Structure 1
Amino acid sequence: MPETETGTETETFRIPKHRRHVSVARNQVRKVLAGWGVSGELADAVTLSANELVTNAVTHCRVAHAQVGVRLYVQGPYLFLEVYDPDRDRLPAPRACGPDDEGGRGLALVGRLAGAWGHAQQRHTKCVWARFTLVEERGRAHVPVDS
């Protein structure tokens, strides 16, 4: 796994703010996780959450010609996923959806997959994050039951 000076694994990348690049972000997340030895249900949960958060960023960010940033890092027993965009004042909020609605379930899904999620306004961006708990079992990371 890659190491920083503090001993935390981390990977950061950017994509253009366009729907066609969501799959690029999803594939990059899957590649990073595989390189770190994260597989199975945890890799699926993080990848699906990344897909939802990046989709939200490219869909709702109103800044022209923006880029969406993705950061994955491991700190202690947690794996964090962060998605950044420059539309710092448009904060995410879960919404109620009807059975026939085509969208609007992404944050609820992330909430079910991750141990926790939230958002933060920064000076020039906003960050939407999800936290996953790592559990080691015979050298492989797995998703625990978070309840």
Structure 2
Amino acid sequence: MLTAPAATSAMPDTSAVPGPAPASTSGTPATPPGTRTPPSGTPATPPGARVTPSGTRVAHWTTPPTAACVPLIRTRVGSALAAWGISGELRDTLLLTVAELVGNAVRHTAAVTERLHVTVAVVGGRVRLEVEDGDPTPPPAELTALTALAEIDPEAESGRGLPIVALLVAEACGRLSVHAREFGKAVRVCVPVA
């Protein structure tokens, strides 16, 4: 089950229910309680997303590390990026990146972690995407190096995803980094908004 953090009393719930509003008997569309309808032509804010008082756009989701969470997280991140006006190659790079990072976390850490935490934010003219798991073991340094793709055994069945992500992120003038956490690690990608 994919969950978004509960809204705090200081920050009103700005999540919109995806899909069309149910029809009411009065002939005008009904708006479910607690739902804000965005101005016409503006994408709805996805569940888990909000804008902080300082103007930072942020979305956060927590999910068990299962294969089913990969497309769900990819869809949620895509919805957040669309709502924030991020499209084109940058959006494609970020969607490929989140699918790879979440997929890696599921594949390599599911046995030692109960939850994955995924955050995407736009702050200071940059998009920050972070996938946190409960395994403190970082990916091997050589896998995050841009030169690693040339060093992969052509007969290997895996090991190409993270180097490809590193190349795409570098092409977008961004960076890929790994950060230790108290109970695990976070793999973070930061790229400038074009």
Which bin holds the TM-score, normalised by the shorter protein?
Answer: 0.7 to 0.9
Aligned match of 2:138: 91
Percent identical across equivalent pairs? Answer: 34
Q: How many residues align?
A: 133
Q: Which residue, 112, 116, 121 being the options, matches 1:63?
A: 112
Runs of 4+ that moved beyond 6 A: none
Which has the higher Rg, Structure 1 or Structure 2? 2
Instruction: Work out the CA distance in 1 between the residues paired with 2:176 and 2:84.
Output: 22
Amino acid at match of 2:175: A
How far does residue 46 in structure 1 lie from its aligned partner after superposition? 0.3
Q: Which runs of 5+ in 2 are unaligned?
A: 1-44
Q: Which residue, 49, 68, 89 being the options, matches 1:20?
A: 68
Instruction: Work out the CA distance in 1 between the residues paired with 2:82 and 2:178.
Output: 26
Instruction: Work out the CA distance in 2 between the residues paired with 1:76 and 1:121.
Output: 23
Q: Which residue, 115, 123, 143 being the options, matches 2:182?
A: 123
Q: Provide the aligned C-alpha RMSD in A.
A: 1.6
Q: Which runs of 5+ in 1 are unaligned?
A: 136-147
Equivalent runs, 1:2-41 vs 2, <5 Å: 2-41=50-89
TM-score (norm 1): 0.83
Amino acid at match of 2:102: V
The structure in which a higher percent of residues are strand is 1
How far does residue 32 in structure 1 lie from its aligned partner after superposition? 1.1
Amino acid at match of 1:105: R
Q: Which residue, 159, 168, 173 being the options, matches 1:113?
A: 168
1:51 matches 2:99: yes
Aligned match of 1:132: 191
